[in-house]
């Protein structure tokens, strides 16, 4: 006896595949790869959960006629001072380099990896889909987590110093490991580490921002671990910053989250236009256009704006309406939010636990495909801002490569 399912890509391409009850999810995934004509990836069930490829079909959370998603993830790379670790599209990990490159001892555990953090000293920590953590590399630089392994559950984020790690758990508490000289011992402030929102690190210390805007620090005093002298000023803190001195002749590329902030103030006018990020490139095409050429199922920039759809992220991924973890840890809140804010015509039947409910889709379709009223169309001037250029003309003023004002004279619109 076999199970037949429909497997689809985010682009909309779909295929029907089947596997015997005694076969594994890996077999089903390989057949889906062939049928869809794609490379490695991960199978997600209707709730967005990653299916374990080692599980027999008769024990998997898959029923005859289910609709699954084949997610092709881009390769993500993290590094220590001398080693690289890459997360492949199927969630596996490969490592190469010098100290810490041997991950063979934990290779069987490195499946469905979501993200990796690394210490400069030579250790890695990987967060898996079930929010557990696997570490490897230099034991004296954070590679040995056996002493706290039982505490590393429901891990949301990991930050690294030169030789230690700090993990934020789902309940807002923090677990640390590694040498005390690098911030691996947080026992002196453990009672204060509650409702932690974010953590930042220097080479030997950590700073945690709490929900009330206060800051807790620990680690080497000469690396910022002692904030006693400025404690009275550390109130209502929104973010901590790490400064680095950059030598002449070097180019620094920042993560996108560092390049912009979401203002707390309420806007005084409606904001109806899209922002898709910036990049340095010699191409004259937008990332949306390049993705459309690679996959005909992805609309190009012009078609996307005309349909008023959702653009790809700079990473090439479709932005989700909510995280997969919301279905597990915030199910009631997600359903309530969806009911209050999304009209029924925009929802779809989604399996939540053992029930089928009407829920906002994780990936939203264009306003045109949903049959909803459209906003005023984009002008040629606005469309030109969505593509790479050395300069732009906006409201008859010319702006250069760095957004600097270049001229006052009237110019024709792009």
Domain membership flag for residue 82: yes
Nearest in space to 307 (alpha carbons), one of 360, 371, 386 = 371
Long-range contacts made by residues 238-241, C-beta under 8 angstroms, separation at least 24? 238/209, 238/213, 238/264, 239/198, 239/209, 240/198, 240/200, 240/207, 240/209, 240/215, 241/200
Spatial neighbors of 166 by CB under 8 A, at least 6 apart, are: 158, 159, 160, 174, 175, 176, 183, 186, 199, 201, 206, 208
Same domain, 130 and 220: yes
pLDDT in tens, the chain (414 residues): 788 889 888 777 888 998 888 888 889 988 988 888 877 788 888 777 788 888 888 888 888 888 888 887 767 888 888 889 988 877 788 898 876 678 888 988 988 888 899 998 899 999 998 899 999 999 999 999 999 999 999 999 999 999 999 999 999 999 999 999 999 999 999 999 999 988 999 889 999 988 888 889 999 988 889 888 877 777 766 665 555 555 555 555 544 444 444 444 555 555 555 555 566 677 788 888 888 888 888 899 889 999 988 888 777 778 888 887 787 778 888 888 888 888 888 888 888 778 888 888 888 888 898 888 888 888 887 787 777 776 655 555 555 544 444 433 333 332
- Domain of residue 21, residue span: 2-71
Give the separation between CA 206 and CA 167, rounded to whole angstroms. Answer: 11
Q: Check residue 12 and give its pLDDT.
A: 77
Give the separation between CA 46 and CA 223, rounded to whole angstroms. Answer: 47
Spatial neighbors of 373 by CB under 8 A, at least 6 apart, are: 367
Q: Which of 17, 45, 71 is the last residue of a domain?
A: 71
| CB contact at 8 A, 62 and 3 | yes
Same domain, 86 and 18: no
Give the separation between CA 44 and CA 408, rounded to whole angstroms. Answer: 53
Same domain, 130 and 192: yes
Q: Which of 71, 87, 109 is the last residue of a domain?
A: 71
Residues 41-77 as b/e (b if ≥16 CB within 10 A, e otherwise) read bbbbbbbbbbbbbeeebeebebeeebebbbbbbeebe
| CB contact at 8 A, 34 and 63 | no
Q: Check residue 238 and give its pLDDT.
A: 61
Spatial neighbors of 409 by CB under 8 A, at least 6 apart, are: none
Give the separation between CA 122 and CA 136, rounded to whole angstroms. Answer: 9
Same domain, 117 and 158: yes
Same domain, 136 and 219: yes
Q: Which of 71, 88, 112 is the last residue of a domain?
A: 71
Both tokens of 266, joined, read 């309420």
Give the separation between CA 52 and CA 325, rounded to whole angstroms. Answer: 16
**What is the domain-level CATH number for residue 30?**
3.10.20.90
Same domain, 165 and 222: yes
Radius of gyration in angstroms for the set of CA atoms belonging to the chain, rounded to a whole number: 24
- Please give the distance of CA 11 from its chain centroid, rounded to a whole number: 19
Domain membership flag for residue 338: no
pTM of the predicted structure, to 2 decimals: 0.49
Domain membership flag for residue 20: yes
Among positive and negative, which fits the CA dihedral 49, 50, 51, 54? negative
Same domain, 49 and 129: no
Cβ atoms within 10 Å of 296's Cβ, excluding its own: 11
Nearest in space to 255 (alpha carbons), one of 225, 277, 223, 227 = 277
Both tokens of 231, joined, read 């404690």
Give the separation between CA 82 and CA 96, rounded to whole angstroms. Answer: 9
Give the separation between CA 299 and CA 310, rounded to whole angstroms. Answer: 10
Both tokens of 395, joined, read 């409201």
Among positive and negative, which fits the CA dihedral 229, 231, 232, 234? positive
Same domain, 135 and 206: yes
Beta-strand runs (E) in 308-396? 348-352, 355-359, 392-394
Same domain, 134 and 210: yes
Tally of domains in the chain: 2
Domain membership flag for residue 41: yes
């Amino acid at each position: 006896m076999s199970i037949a399912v429909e497997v689809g890509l985010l682009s909309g391409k779909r295929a029907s595949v089947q596997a015997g009850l005694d076969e594994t999810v890996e077999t089903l995934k390989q057949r889906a790869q062939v049928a869809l004509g794609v490379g490695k990836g991960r199978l997600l069930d209707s709730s967005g959960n990653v299916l374990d490829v080692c599980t027999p079909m008769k024990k998997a959370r898959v029923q005859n006629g289910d609709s699954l998603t084949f997610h092709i993830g881009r390769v993500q790379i993290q590094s220590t001072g001398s080693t690289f670790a890459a997360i492949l599209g199927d969630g596996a990990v490969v490592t190469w380099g010098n100290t810490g490159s041997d991950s063979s001892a934990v290779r069987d555990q490195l499946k469905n990896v979501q993200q990796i953090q690394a210490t400069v000293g030579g250790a890695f920590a990987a967060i898996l889909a079930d929010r557990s953590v696997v570490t490897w590399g230099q034991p004296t630089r954070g590679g040995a987590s056996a002493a706290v392994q039982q505490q590393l559950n429901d891990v949301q984020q990991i930050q690294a110093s030169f030789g230690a790690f700090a993990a934020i758990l789902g309940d807002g508490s923090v677990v640390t490991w590694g040498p005390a000289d690098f911030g691996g011992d947080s026992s002196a402030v453990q009672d204060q580490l509650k409702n932690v929102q974010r953590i930042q690190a220097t080479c030997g210390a950590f700073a945690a921002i709490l929900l009330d805007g206060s800051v807790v620090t620990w680690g080497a005093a000469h690396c910022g671990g002692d904030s006693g002298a400025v404690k009275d000023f550390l109130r209502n803190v929104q973010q901590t910053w790490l400064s680095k001195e950059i030598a002449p002749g070097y180019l620094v590329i920042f993560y996108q989250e560092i390049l912009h902030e979401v203002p707390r103030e309420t806007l005084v006018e409606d904001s109806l236009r899209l922002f898709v990020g910036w990049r340095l490139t010699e191409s004259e095409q937008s990332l949306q256009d390049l993705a459309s050429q690679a996959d005909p199922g992805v609309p190009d920039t012009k078609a996307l704006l005309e349909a008023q759809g959702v653009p790809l992220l700079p990473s090439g991924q479709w932005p989700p309406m909510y995280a997969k973890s919301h279905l597990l840890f915030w199910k009631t809140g997600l359903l309530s939010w969806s009911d209050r804010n999304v009209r029924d015509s925009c929802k779809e039947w989604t399996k939540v636990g053992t029930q089928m409910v009407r829920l906002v889709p994780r990936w939203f379709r264009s306003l045109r495909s949903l049959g909803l009223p459209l906003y005023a169309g984009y002008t040629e001037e606005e469309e030109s801002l969505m593509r790479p250029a050395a300069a732009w003309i906006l409201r008859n003023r010319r702006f250069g490569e760095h957004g600097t004002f270049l001229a006052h004279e009237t110019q024709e619109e792009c």
